[in-house]
Chain A
Amino acid sequence: MEAGLHDLADVAVERALELGADYADARVRSDWGRGVSLRNGVPDPPTSFSSTGVGVRVLVGRSMAFGSTNRLDSASVRALVDSLVRMASASSRMGGVEGLSREEASVATWRSPERRRPEDVDVRELLEEARSMDAAASSAGPEMVGRWISLRISCEEKYLRTSDGSRISSRVSRAFAFALLTARDGGRTVQRIVELGGSGGWELAEELDFQGRMKREASDVIEVLRRAEAEDLSGIDTVIVGPEISGIMAHESVGHPFEADRILGREAAQAGESYLGRDAVGSRVGSPEAFVSDDPTIPGSYGYYEYDEEGVPARRKRLMVAGVVNELLHDRETARAFGVRSNGSARSSSYSREPIPRMSNTFVEPGDRTLEELMEEAGRALLMESYMEWNIDDRRENQRYVGLKAHLIESGRPVKLVFNPVLEVTSSRLWSGVVARGKVVEFSPGTCGKGEPMQGVPVWFGGPHMLIRGVSLRRR
């Protein structure tokens, strides 16, 4: 990012203070990316995007206003700030912001490690990787009739200035792959969405083994197509979920309901609220084996950051410890409302979006078991490694995961692939039923949606294999 652009954030904050704002922050942010996609091996036109703009937030009394512009001159930024202060003042009779928590000012520069900068990777190289992934998927079997594969590399550069003294410069690069695989044989069709990615440069394609993963995923899909059987699962009340599913459970059923703005009701008309109340910290929601954390500082993670969107240092947050609510996800606005300090969870997806509490990399913490030990312990159970369909209600209680690669377990070993098994469970039953956890945590990338307008932010979710009892299973 050109140094001169930083001045625009300074101009914005100083103008807001001149006009009487109690607080202001501004970020200048540039996003750049390049992508390719293949439909059954045939490329679409390659795409790239670039975006640079200024986002400004002002607090006047109890009224907050946020605005953005990509007209990158001082006059336009000043005019934006003037309008924001007017807007905040105009809504003062209904302003509902108690203020922001007091935090230490930070002055820092950080970058995610990267060896091959996205800017140095051309379309030819991306297409070559996509074609190799396509070939890997095709080689799984003649039934692999549909392959849609997209690859994207991107970088995000930002300068954040707050009126209480924080000045943070940052750069984070990312690589991401998405594929929809379709296998068909006669009347049966099986589909699988594959997502791979993290923060870093194009070296991630090799480090995360995009081609090898595609081959394994495609082979799994073919196996399910050829061998999985619809099974009556009534009477089975035990499940071992794999890292992909323990991860999405941690994200959907702990991460989201632990977002403090949802608990306050700030997302009530959009992504919804929470099963937790304002006094939830210290209350039990799971078994002594239930541990969930959110950690933006994991090197190479898709949700990586070192300072949040309000200049607060990032740190690991242990959300659930031995089944007890330990900590919520806070930005400075919710921290003030709860009478605590921010734990650095403010994120925004673009210069044009307000910062709000978000997850980063949310995961079930590891336990002490091998998968073999978990299967021994489980008895007759279902081992569900991957899923396609999932959803959860807007208070984050009523959730469902429909398995893709799933085995019936008997006498400590997998005996049969099961077609489309359904795990439908409440959050309280799920986390109360956690009996044991595996040793090895694996992560999956995703784009988490929240906010209005919708803000998609990159996250990892993960966990170890996790043994859960007291659940109901059935076929779809």
Chain B
Amino acid sequence: MGSEGAPAIVDRLARSIMEGVSPEDYIVLLFSGEELRVKFYNNRIAISEREVADSARLYAVRSGRHALVALDDLSERGIRAAIGDLRAALESSPEVRRPPLPPPSKYEHNGDFDPRALEADAPSMVEAAISAAISGGARRVAGVLELGSISIHIRTSSGVDQEDRRSYALLNVRAFGAGSGGAEASGQGLSVSTTPRRLDPAAAGRSAAEISAVASRPCSVEPGRYDVIFAPISAAELVQHVGAAASAYSVASGFSFLEGKIGERVAPDWFSLIDHGQIVDGVGSRSFDDEGVPTRSTAIISGGVLRTYLHNTTTGAEFGTGTTGNAGIIEPGPWNLEVSPGDSSVEEMVREVRRGLMVTSNWYTRFQNYRTGDYSTLPRDASPFIEGGEIRCSARGIRISSNLLRDLGNVSMASRERRWVRWWEVEVPVLTPYVLVRDVGVTSAF
């Protein structure tokens, strides 16, 4: 935060709004962060990176007109230009009814912050992950380590004046080993925490190598319908789409298969999906949302029933429910998603499958229709084929082709064991068990 300090910058931004646009209401959000990244492949470091960034969002309301600007040049010149944009937008935008800004409330921080997150020895952590993967049989290892620290300040015309400080440590490891017929086999391991002290690079490397070993025995499976165990990395990727569909803005824009389902049963009665504003090791945690509302835990699904969408004050007013503390000034969204655990071991879940698959990781989920939830996605790395409760080989070249709403309804088991997932393909942190879904469509181009 340079020499000036965050409170002084917030003062300057608030003063600039008041003088520049004379708003009835305003929000100043200031984000000051630093991130260190180490990207590696073929057992070597490709690049080490350091990103120092201050950015702000300014929201103003005047005579029923609203406008939002984002800026990251916080010099006098940059702020002057942004205020000019804000003024021009307020002058030329139509009047729209939005609720008044919320008043201050009681804010709590769960204490999950490591002020020394950036001091960890990043190259050594990368080396530990690579070594563990190679010890586990990998020939080459790729991935990324990210260490970050961010402070968030908010000041509103309704009296909110708060600061939140957060840290994170993320490691994604992909191991490649020898497969059959000269092909390579791959596996992925993750370690996710709010502090590098709880990051376990060796475990992530080992896990990637273990999954890669399973993938070394490939086989073809016929297209059809299978019972599928989604391991945490894969379950999280699908759950994040449920979280996105739970945003009231998605519902109102046509991007949600949860439209019209409030109060309906969408999953088995033991299943819950909770969004947590704050949770230990939840790297999306925040004390307050972008409107200054304290974040909270919100059961999106409990007892298998869809209970609520995620709201800011505007969508909360539109839907007649009030905010859930998930702003986005325009678009509400989840902070950290938690899927309830089951009471089975992973081994018991595998034994339960007569003919099916386990998906260890996936990517590239796309929807034919967001309203209905028709989607497909690509498993990657090992996809163990299970027959008679035993893993036989790893299915090669498959695609999941299904419907997310139907999949939720067909969830039948979950493990006690849960993992935090957050990586390139999963942007919202998800704490999830292994999840068994019955009757999932599987196709292939091969």
Binding site for B on A (CB under 8 A): 2, 30, 34, 37, 39, 42-53, 63-72, 76, 80, 83-84, 87-88, 90-91, 93-97, 122-124, 127, 146-148, 180, 182, 184, 189-191, 264-272, 352, 354, 388-394, 397-400, 402, 420, 422, 424-426, 429, 452-454, 476
Contact = CB atoms under 8 A, between A and B. Distances in A.
A53 B78 CA distance: 11
Return the 10 tightest CB-CB contacts between A and B, nearest first: A96-B44, A268-B142, A146-B254, A45-B66, A389-B368, A391-B364, A124-B92, A67-B50, A52-B73, A269-B174
A272 B172 CA distance: 13
Contact of A391 (B75, B126, B369, B399): B399
Contacts of B123: 90-91, 93-94
B202 interface: no
Contact of A399 (B49, B53, B88, B445): B445
Contacts of A70: 52-55, 72-74
Interface in B138-156: 140, 142-144
Nearest to B69: A48
Contacts of B140: 265, 268
B254 A398 contact: no
Contacts of A2: 77
Contact of A180 (B173, B253, B364, B378): B253
Given A43-B96, A127-B94, A398 B49 contact: no
A367 B428 CA distance: 45
B436 to A, nearest CB: 23
A94 B142 CA distance: 13
A83 B330 contact: no
A125 B8 CA distance: 36
23 contacts: A37-B330, A45-B59, A46-B68, A48-B86, A50-B69, A51-B70, A51-B73, A65-B49, A66-B47, A93-B123, A94-B126, A96-B46, A190-B369, A268-B140, A269-B144, A269-B172, A269-B173, A389-B367, A392-B378, A397-B445, A420-B374, A426-B445, A452-B37
Contacts of A53: 53, 72-73
Contact of A389 (B44, B329, B376): B376
Interface residues of B, number: 87
- Residue from B81, B126, B371 whose CB has the most chain A CB atoms within 10 Å: B371
B250 to A, nearest CB: 10
A389 B254 contact: no
B193 to A, nearest CB: 18
A265 B397 CA distance: 20
A398 B442 CA distance: 13
Given A43-B93, A127-B93, A96 B173 contact: no
Contact of A48 (B36, B54, B85): B85
B69 A268 contact: no
B378 A391 contact: yes
A426 to B, nearest CB: 5
Contacts of A424: 399, 443-445
A189 B370 CA distance: 10
Contacts of A76: 2, 52
A39 B330 CA distance: 12
Contacts of A272: 363, 380
A87 B46 CA distance: 12
Interface string B49-69: 111111100010000001111
Contacts of B254: 146-148, 180, 182, 191
Contacts of B85: 34, 48, 50
A393 B378 contact: yes
B176 interface: yes
Contacts of B443: 400, 422, 424
Interface of B: 2, 36-55, 59, 66-75, 77-78, 81-82, 85-86, 88-89, 92-94, 96, 98, 123, 126-127, 140, 142-144, 172-174, 176, 188, 252-255, 329-330, 363-372, 374-378, 380, 397, 399, 401, 424, 443-446
**Consensus secondary structure, chain B interface:** strand
Contacts of B68: 45-48
A69 B377 CA distance: 37
A182 B371 contact: yes
B49 A71 contact: no
Contact of B253 (A39, A68, A72, A91): A39
A192 to B, nearest CB: 10
Contact of A400 (B94, B329, B376): B376
A90 B188 CA distance: 26
Given A70-B74, A269-B172, A424-B399, A84 B50 contact: yes
A123 B93 contact: yes
B148 to A, nearest CB: 11
Contacts of A90: 48, 123
A358 B52 CA distance: 25
Given A64-B48, A65-B48, A391-B377, A50 B41 contact: no
A123 B142 contact: no
Given A48-B69, A182-B371, A354-B49, A452 B78 contact: no
A35 B188 CA distance: 38
B89 A46 contact: yes
A476 B373 CA distance: 13
Nearest to B401: A476
A50 B367 contact: no
B231 to A, nearest CB: 17
- Residue from A70, A80, A184, A352 whose CB has the most chain B CB atoms within 10 Å: A70
Contacts of A37: 330
A93 B82 CA distance: 45
Contact of A398 (B75, B94, B444): B444
A65 B47 contact: yes
A123 B363 CA distance: 37
B40 A394 contact: no
Contact of B78 (A43, A52, A83, A180): A52
A124 B68 CA distance: 15
B50 A87 contact: yes
A95 B45 contact: yes
A426 B46 CA distance: 30
Contact of A65 (B50, B86, B363): B50
Contacts of B173: 269
A68 B44 contact: no
B47 A354 contact: yes
Contacts of A50: 69-73, 78, 81-82, 85
B48 A63 contact: yes
Contact of B70 (A48, A180, A393): A48
Contacts of A189: 369, 371-372
A47 B88 contact: no
Given A96-B46, A264-B41, A452-B424, A45 B397 contact: no
Contacts of A190: 369
A403 to B, nearest CB: 9
Nearest to B188: A269
A352 B53 contact: yes
A453 to B, nearest CB: 8
B330 A44 contact: yes
Contacts of A267: 41
Contact of B46 (A68, A124, A266): A266
A266 B445 contact: no
A394 B363 contact: yes
A65 B122 CA distance: 13
A389 B402 CA distance: 12
- Residue from A2, A146, A452 whose CB has the most chain B CB atoms within 10 Å: A452
